[in-house]
Amino acid sequence: MIQPAVRVRAGRPTGIERPYSQEELIVSKTDRRGIIRYANDVFIRVSGFSEDELVGRPHNVIRHPDMPHAVFKLMWQALEAGDEIFAYVNNLATDGGHYWVLAHLTSSVDAAGRIVGYHSNRRWVEPEIRREVGALYATIRAAERRERHTPAALAAGLGVIEAHLAHVGLTYEQLVWSIAGRTSTAAR
């Protein structure tokens, strides 16, 4: 597929949430480098991108600037190890709106067991979870910003996550599910 010469980007954050229903599932598939190879109709609609604007682009085209780099580092570590991971992610749409998801990310493997790409199913997130996770992510991002985009920024963000996990006595996966379990409609 030939990509347009124009660089495709999500808009500047507006603070306006993009709606989608609890029953909808946002799905994407990427290659090993995170280049989108498939986007379902829900992903296309909620993100505001056309299929042509998504397919062939890096998945981080929807990266919201409020998302901590450290959370993405945890996701990539799990995926590269062949593990699945669940994570709360705030995404950015073309119009600057945002939409929270509970992402389930897995590696796609070939017949020989080699990782050839990644698959993500994303579900709706309760408003109270968005607020709780958003507050935690703001603390992580503040630590990252204090280091002003140096290599120490990622370490600072990971340090906040590790300190929080130690404080609550949970692993990252347990934290995700403990938050999800506090609401009645959270799907596991």
What pLDDT does residue 148 have?
A: 85
Helix (H, G, I), strand (E, B) or coil at 17: strand
Q: How many CA atoms lie within 13 A of 36 on its CB side?
A: 23
Helix (H, G, I), strand (E, B) or coil at 144: helix
Helix (H, G, I), strand (E, B) or coil at 172: helix
Digit-by-digit pLDDT tens for the chain (188 residues) are 444 434 566 779 999 999 999 999 999 999 999 999 999 999 999 999 999 999 999 999 999 999 999 999 999 999 989 899 999 999 999 999 999 999 999 999 999 999 999 999 999 999 999 999 999 999 999 999 999 878 899 999 999 999 999 999 999 999 999 998 875 444 44
Q: Give the separation between CA 24 and CA 36, rounded to whole angstroms.
A: 20
Query: pTM above 0.85?
Result: yes
Are the CB atoms for 100 and 87 separated by under 8 Å?
no
Q: Give the separation between CA 133 and CA 110, rounded to whole angstroms.
A: 35
| Sheet containing strand 98-109, strands side by side | 36-39, 26-31, 115-123, 98-109, 85-92
List of E strands, 110-169: 115-123
**Domains annotated on the chain, with CATH:** 26-180 (3.30.450.20)
Residue 161, number of CB atoms within 10 A of its CB: 21
Q: Give the separation between CA 96 and CA 90, rounded to whole angstroms.
A: 12
What pLDDT does residue 8 have?
A: 62
Residue 31, number of CB atoms within 10 A of its CB: 14
